[in-house]
Structure 1
Amino acid sequence: MLRLVVLVSGSGTNFADLLQRTKAGRVPAEIIAVGADRACGGIETAAAAGIPTFVEPFSAPREAWSRRVADRVAAFEPDLVVLSGFMRLLSPEAVARFEPALLNTHPAFLPEFPGAHGVRDALAAGVTETGASVIIVDSGVDTGPILAQQRVPIEPDDSPDALHDRIKLVERELLASVITDIADGTIDLADHGLEHRLDRPDTPRTAQ
Structure 2
Amino acid sequence: MPNLMPRQPKNIVILISGSGSNMAAIVRAAQAQHWQQQFGAHVAAVISNRPDAAGLQLAQSLGVATQVLSHQAFATREAFDAALMALIDTHQPALVVLAGFMRILTPAFVQHYAGRLVNIHPSLLPAFPGLNTHQRALDAGCTEAGCTVHQVTAELDHGPMLAQAAVPVLPGDSADTLAARVQMQEHLLYPQAIRDWLRSAACR
Q: TM-score range by the shorter chain?
A: 0.7 to 0.9
Which aligned runs of 4 or more in structure 1 are off by greater than 4 angstroms?
none
Q: TM-score, normalised by structure 2?
A: 0.85
Alignment of 1:1-208 (within 5 A): 2-25=10-33, 27=35, 29-38=41-50, 39-59=52-72, 60-185=75-200
Provide, for residues 148-175 of structure 1, a one-character-per-residue CA deviation record: whole Å limited to 9, x for no partner.
1122211121122221121112222222
| Mapped contact 2:27–2:62 kept (Cα < 8 A) | no
Q: Report if aligned partners of 1:178, 1:187 keep a CA contact under 8 Å in 2.
A: no
Cα RMSD (Å) of the superposition?
2.0
- C-alpha contact 1:87 1:116 (8 A) present in aligned 2: no
Task: Could you tell me which runs of 5 or more consecutive residues in structure 2 were left unpaired when the two chains were aligned.
Answer: 1-8
* Structure 1 segments unaligned to the other structure (5+ residues): 191-208
How many residue pairs get matched? 189
Measured in 2, the distance between the counterparts of 1:174 and 1:26 equals 17
Question: What is the TM-score with the length of structure 1 in the denominator?
Answer: 0.83
**Percent identity between the two aligned chains:** 37
Question: For residues 173 and 90 of structure 2, what CA distance do their matches in structure 1 show?
Answer: 43
TM-aligned CA deviation for residue 97 of structure 1:
0.9
> Do the aligned residues in 2 keep the contact of 1:81 with 1:101 (CA within 8 Å)?
yes
Letter in 2 for 1:49: L
Give the drift of 1:2.
3.2
Distance across 2 between alignment mates of 1:104 and 1:159: 24
